[in-house]
């Protein structure tokens, strides 16, 4: 958003998005520039603005401020990667494929020494008009000059003798079991009633994160406010009363800050992810974003145009249309209800009619902390210091809006079949689902988790994946699952697959046959053992990060549970029997209950089938 391209193409409303980046391969690659233009926009005008920006880079070198912003962003990306073991491992493997893992660090070092003259020299050498491929072809009388791209240097010579820098703080060897997290967690309450869970721990790179969830509104008070709330959330972070969007971006870079604030329909929140030394400043900045949004008219128009462009593009998307049709059938609420499922046409009309004054009024009525707010702090920090900073920045920011949770329980509905034709879409989707009364307190909860791991989870080794993708070759991707909620009395079973339109009905038939087979034959002892092992290992891996700690603490605070609840689930899964899994699947799953939606270019598929039949009938029989 601070780039020249964004300013010249997006802020002028010629496009809703724009990007430019070089490919990083072992061999010479491309420098890509792209822009998303709305349906009523002009491709020619957007292209002219892009090319003008390219020429500007050659004639007017970047300023010292622009170059320093780039260097700081690169430096922060390396520092943040160093705090993430998986991130650094992935980065080094990518650079190893390009020639040598040490190039990862050499690239960092070279970025720090780039000069203004270097940038202009490269722009003048490579960003020449004859070195471009674009959507229009303009013939020329004479062959244009070609850019001479040099061959790769000798990698071995380049990295020879390279020595790394000082090691990043490794952090402690933390035990992520529920029992240890419970021992480490301290609970406090802010003056405005917000509940806070603190987990101080030594993190790699001295990282720390804060996540807050604010809750507000009632079923009646939030009627007909979905579109307004959606825009309110989108406007957060697009500038404050005292800082432009560009200035905010610069501050985020300086502080190595990830996070922000949002204000949605029933919930909002703020988050801070940074390093310990920048935590106080980061909290203050996010508080400014949350409490002093600019609600700028120009930013609002940019956001609205982007939303409408995206909706227009999804009008014929098979996956989007199938998902809406299925959700509308299973979740029937009156128009304007917070849980109402809207169509694309309704969304276009709804978003078009939202005004900036409505957004400001919604923010003023609902945004703020209250007794229903939960906050988690995990990582390198001092509890007393952080609580003081939170009080200073958020203690007086309160919401007086009444809060009553809006439930979404299972509704009774008849099974149905929908077919949606989407012309010129070669990809088709098959969705199937139904709801039933069920919560995660149900004694069959863990058995259903195991059953659907076997039936539709895992990696290409589930019942439906083996049958539909591997054996029958009908689908590109396929899976099935089960989900429920602690409070909403609604369990859901679902199936999804993508295929060619010609094979969609074959996918439906194969899915039904696999449901019937699982009910009649059951799952084997071996399948259950493998599924249990996979689930237990997966749960251990997914909880071994600060984000998992944060989400579990929010869960326990809001639902009034202990962290031992998660250990009980682990233990129940580990001791699961084949008999219980089969009993649960047979109890809750029935092929007759599924509502099935298919979407794709079925008219073209039918035409191809007729043509194939006609060809077969006209072929000589040889008699």
In this structure, are 385 and 459 located in the same domain? no
Instruction: Give me the helices (H) in 128-236, please.
Output: 155-159, 178-184, 226-235
Stated as kind and residue range, the H or E segment containing 292 is: none
d(CA 595, CA 572): 31
Tell me how far apart the 2 most distant CA atoms of the chain are, in Å: 94
Over its C-alpha atoms, the chain yields an Rg (Å, rounded) of 28
How far apart are the C-alpha atoms of 153 and 162, rounded to whole Å?
Answer: 16
Domain of 480 in residue numbering reads as 418-608
Range from 30-39, 288-297, 357-366 carrying the lowest mean pLDDT: 30-39
405 lies in a domain?
no
DSSP 147: -
Give the up-direction half-sphere exposure of residue 323: CA atoms within 13 A in the CB hemisphere.
12
Residues 150 and 213 in one domain: no
User: How many structural domains is the chain composed of?
Assistant: 3
Answer whether residue 503 is part of any domain.
yes
433 alpha carbon, distance to own chain's centre: 23
In a shared domain, residues 267 and 320: yes
Distance CA 472, CA 209 (A): 47
The residue-averaged pLDDT of 130-148 equals 70
Same domain, 430 and 381: no
Is the pLDDT at 110 greater than 70? The verdict is: yes
The pLDDT value given to residue 620: 55
Highest mean pLDDT out of 119-123, 167-171, 448-452: 448-452
Q: Are the CB atoms for 427 and 318 separated by under 8 Å?
A: yes
- 201 against 620, higher pLDDT: 201
- Residues 152 and 184 both lie in one domain: no
The residue assigned the tokens 């969705």 is: 431
Pairing of strands 595-600, 186-189: unpaired
Q: For residue 137, is pLDDT > 60?
A: no
Torsion sign (Cα): 37, 43, 48, 54: positive
Question: For 567-603, how does the pLDDT look when each residue is reduced to its tens digit (9 = 90+)?
Answer: 999 999 999 999 999 999 999 999 999 999 999 999 8
Q: Are residues 284 and 254 in the same domain?
A: yes
DSSP letter at 470 equals I
Whether 409 maps to a domain, the answer reads no
% of the chain exceeding 70 in pLDDT? 97
Residue-wise pLDDT for 220-253, tens only, equals 999 999 999 999 999 999 999 999 999 999 999 9
Averaged over 15-43, what is the pLDDT? 87
Does residue 434 have a pLDDT over 50? yes
- Whether residue 611 is predicted with pLDDT greater than 60 in this model: the reply is yes
Residues 271 and 130 in one domain: no
Q: How far apart are CA 180 and CA 198, in angstroms?
A: 13
Same domain, residue pair 304 and 345? yes
Determine the average pLDDT of the residues in 214-222: 98
- Would residue 591 count as lying in a domain? yes
Is 623 domain-assigned? Answer: no
Strand intervals (E) in 252-296: 258-263, 267-275
- What is the reported pLDDT for 1? 66
Global pTM value: 0.82
User: CA–CA distance from 201 to each of 208, 258, 391, 533, 554 (Å)?
Assistant: 9, 19, 22, 29, 18
Of 533, 536, 543, 552, the closest CA to residue 174 belongs to: 543
pLDDT at 623: 44
The answer on 446 and 389 residing in a single domain is no
- What's the mean pLDDT when you consider all of the chain? 92
Distant-in-sequence, close-in-space partners of 326: CB < 8 Å, separation ≥ 6: 418, 431, 433, 595, 597
- Are 219 and 300 within one domain? yes
- Extended strands (E) in 107-151: none
Domain presence at residue 572: yes
Contacting residues for 363 by C-beta, under 8 A, at least 6 apart: 232, 263, 293, 295
**CA–CA distance from 167 to each of 109, 141, 205, 381 (Å)?**
16, 58, 9, 21
Query: For residue 585, what is the domain's CATH number?
Result: 3.30.830.10
The helix (run of H) or strand (run of E) holding residue 536 is helix 525-542
- The confidence score (pLDDT) of residue 621 equals 52
Asked if residue 581 and residue 503 are part of one domain, the reply reads yes
Rounded to 5 degrees, φ, ψ at 64 are -60, -35
Name the residue with tokens 């069959």. 444
Residue 60 confidence (pLDDT): 87
70 HSE (CA, 13 A, CB side): 17
Strands laid side by side in the 595-600 sheet: 417-421, 595-600, 428-436, 491-499, 475-483
At 183 the pLDDT is: 96
Beta bridge partners of 379: 200, 208
Residue 138 confidence class, pLDDT cut points 50, 70, 90: very low
Examine residue 54 and state whether it is found in any structural domain, yes or no. yes
**For 20-24, 136-140, 343-347, 363-367, which range has the lowest pLDDT when averaged over its residues?**
136-140
Q: Name, in order, each residue with C-beta under 8 angstroms of 146's C-beta and a sequence gap of 6 or more.
A: 130, 131
pLDDT in the model for residue 170: 78
What is the phi/psi pair of residue 478, to 5°?
-150, 145
622: left (phi over 0), alpha (psi -120 to 50) or beta: left
Q: Are residues 446 and 354 in the same domain?
A: no
* Mean pLDDT within 525-541: 95
> Which residues have C-beta within 8 Å of that of residue 83, sequence separation ≥ 6?
168, 203, 204, 205, 206, 207, 275
How does DSSP assign 392-435, residue by residue? HHHTT-B--S-B-------------EEEEE-TT---EEEEEEEE
Is residue 165 one of the residues assigned to a domain? no
Summarised one tens digit per residue, pLDDT across range 44-74 is: 898 999 999 999 888 888 899 888 888 888 8
Q: Which tens digits make up the pLDDT trace of 145-181?
A: 778 888 888 888 888 888 888 877 778 889 999 999 9
């Amino acid at each position: 958003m601070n780039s020249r391209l964004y300013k010249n193409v997006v802020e002028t409303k010629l496009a809703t998005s724009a990007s430019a980046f070089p490919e990083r391969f072992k061999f010479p690659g491309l420098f890509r520039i792209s822009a998303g233009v709305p349906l009523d926009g002009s491709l020619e005008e957007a292209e002219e603005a892009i090319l003008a920006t390219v020429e500007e880079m050659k004639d007017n070198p970047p300023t010292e401020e622009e170059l320093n912003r780039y260097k700081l962003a690169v430096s922060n990306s390396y520092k943040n990667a160093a705090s993430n073991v998986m991130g650094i491992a992935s980065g080094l493997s990518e650079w190893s494929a390009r020639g040598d893992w040490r190039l990862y660090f050499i690239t960092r070092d070279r970025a720090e020494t780039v000069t203004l003259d270097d940038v202009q020299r490269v722009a003048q050498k490579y960003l020449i008009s004859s070195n471009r491929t674009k959507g229009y072809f303009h013939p020329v009388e004479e062959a244009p000059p070609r850019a001479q791209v040099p061959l790769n240097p000798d990698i071995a010579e380049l990295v020879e003798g390279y020595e790394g820098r000082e090691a990043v703080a490794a952090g402690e060897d933390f035990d992520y079991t529920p029992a240890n997290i419970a021992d480490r967690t301290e609970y406090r309450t802010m003056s405005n009633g917000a509940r806070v869970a603190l987990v101080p721990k030594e993190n790699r790179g001295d990282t720390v994160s804060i996540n807050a969830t604010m809750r507000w509104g009632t079923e009646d008070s939030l009627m007909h406010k979905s579109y307004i709330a959606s825009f309110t959330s989108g406007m957060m972070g697009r500038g404050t009363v005292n800082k432009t969007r560009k200035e905010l971006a610069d501050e985020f870079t300086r502080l190595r800050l990830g996070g922000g604030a949002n204000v949605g329909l029933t919930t909002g929140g703020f988050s801070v992810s940074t390093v310990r030394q920048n935590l106080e400043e980061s909290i203050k900045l996010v508080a400014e974003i949350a409490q002093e949004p600019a609600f700028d008219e120009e930013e609002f128009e940019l956001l609205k145009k982007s939303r409408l462009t995206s909706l227009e593009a999804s009008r014929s998307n098979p996956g989007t249309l199938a998902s809406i049709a299925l959700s509308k059938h299973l979740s029937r609420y009156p128009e304007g209800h917070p849980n109402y499922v809207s169509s694309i046409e309704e969304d276009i009309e709804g978003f078009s009619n939202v005004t900036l004054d409505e957004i400001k009024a919604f923010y003023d009525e609902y945004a703020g902390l209250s007794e229903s707010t939960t906050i988690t702090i995990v990582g390198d920090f001092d509890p007393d210091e952080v609580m003081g900073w939170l009080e200073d920045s958020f203690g007086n920011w309160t919401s007086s809006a009444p809060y009553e949770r809006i439930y979404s329980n299972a509704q009774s509905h008849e099974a149905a079949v929908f077919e949606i034709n989407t012309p010129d879409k070669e990809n088709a989707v098959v969705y199937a689902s139904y709801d039933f009364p069920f919560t995660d307190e149900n004694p069959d909860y863990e058995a259903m988790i195991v059953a659907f791991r076997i039936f539709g989870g895992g990696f290409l080794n589930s019942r439906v994946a083996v049958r539909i993708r591997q054996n029958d070759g009908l689908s590109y991707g396929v899976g099935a699952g089960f989900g429920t909620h602690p409070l909403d009395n609604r369990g859901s079973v679902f199936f999804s697959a993508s295929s060619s339109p010609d094979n969609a009905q074959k996918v439906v038939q194969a899915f039904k046959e696999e449901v019937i087979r699982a009910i009649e034959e059951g799952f084997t002892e071996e399948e259950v053992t493998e599924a249990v092992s996979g689930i237990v290992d997966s749960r251990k891996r997914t909880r071994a990060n600060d984000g998992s700690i944060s989400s579990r603490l929010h869960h326990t605070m809001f639902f009034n549970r202990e962290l031992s609840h998660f250990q009980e689930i682990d233990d129940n899964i580990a001791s699961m029997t084949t008999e219980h899994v089969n009993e649960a699947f047979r109890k809750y799953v029935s092929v007759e209950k599924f509502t099935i939606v298919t979407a794709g270019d079925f008219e073209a598929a039918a035409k191809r089938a007729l043509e194939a039949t006609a060809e077969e009938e006209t072929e000589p029989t040889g008699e």
